[in-house]
Amino acid sequence: MPIPPLYGHEGTRNRLVGAIASGRLPQALLFEGPRGVGKQRLALWLAQALVCENPGDGSRETGKGEPCGKCQPCRLVLNLSHPDVHWFVPLELTKKTGDADKQVDVVEEALGAEMTARREQPLYEAPSGLASHGIAAVRLLLRQLALKPALAQRKVFVIGDAERLVPQVGAEAAANALLKALEEPPANTVFVLTATAPEGLLPTILSRVVRVRVARLADSIVAAFAQQELGVRGQRAVAQRVAAADGCIGRVLAEEGRGERGGEAAERFAAAVKAGPVRRYAFALGQQPFQARGGFTGMLDGLLERLREQARSGKETGRVVQAIAQVLEARSLAQGNVNPQLVAAVLGGDWE
């Protein structure tokens, strides 16, 4: 199943195709903007424009210089199967090995499985809190970088959620490895990084990319997406989705088919810890026993998001880093199907 069409961002798209036509497109770009605004979809659209055989074919559906969407390269990109367009997303690996070369193979297999899942369900959710771009993923990128293009005249590497190259303090190896590729990229290569929190990237990486701000979408565009891609009907239902999205289509997807969001559960957990032992233990006992995956890990992901925002503000850095480590440990235990009640009780005690 092809990925949905790109909605909105006409101004940015016009500037990008103009840069391609004039031969001035930078080889390393960073698309930055709010979570869910469509940065990675825009990056894939740019990749499509770079490999398209008939850009701006004159049809009513495409503008001047935009990808035609009909040629074989365009269809391959839309089906996430073009051999010269490489989309790297954060991964939470279940298999690990001490051999560095085998770990690269593990990442390649996991990334292939993720792309297969996204072909089957193109409206994907945000990666889990533990997902990251590890050093093995960057080594895979460098391996692919050394190969010649298979079909197109150039290769495109899309690195989604690039701030996860540094998932926590002291884990800069992956970002440093990527830095070497960004310093002198091959002439036939374009890098497109995306980030919600660009300040989470190493300053040396930021200095080597051209930053492109991806703005929020108009309510009319979000409404069109909800109606055409999600089948939302009724003026009130559409209005509710648009209000919740705040100009970010990804937030519409986050609401689709979900109950309590991880962010809301994280707020309740934090309030329970602050209220004292009785509320804290009541919250812990309220978790479904032996069902660590799903809602409970979503709550932990919400906590991680809150803590990372605090870390970016620079306040009480030492305590925040310690809290992040505690939540990461809790999530690791949850993935091993440890009783969520016990994990929540211990984490709450540590935080109190």
Could you report the per-residue pLDDT of 36-73, keeping only the tens digit for each? 999 999 999 999 999 999 887 645 455 567 999 999 99
Q: What predicted TM-score, i.e. pTM, was given to this entire model?
A: 0.73
Per-residue pLDDT averaged across 122-126, rounded? 78
pLDDT digits (tens, 9 = 90+) for 196-246: 988 888 888 899 999 999 999 999 999 999 999 888 888 888 898 898 888
Ramachandran quadrant class, 223 (left: phi over 0; alpha: psi -120 to 50; beta: rest): alpha
Q: What is the pLDDT of residue 124?
A: 77
Q: Is the pLDDT of residue 155 over 60?
A: yes
Write down the pLDDT at residue 259.
Answer: 39
In single-letter form, the type of residue at position 12 comes to T
Mean pLDDT of 249-278: 73
* Residue 260 binned pLDDT confidence (cut-offs 50, 70, 90): very low
Nearest to 157 by CA among 180, 134, 190, 135: 190
Predicted pLDDT of residue 289 = 61
Report angle CA 123, 91, 203 to the nearest 5 degrees.
105
Residue % of the chain over a pLDDT of 90: 40
Which contacts qualify for 227-232: CB closer than 8 Å, 24 or more apart?
229/4, 229/123, 230/123, 230/256
Contact (Cβ atoms closer than 8 angstroms) between residue 248 and residue 34:
yes
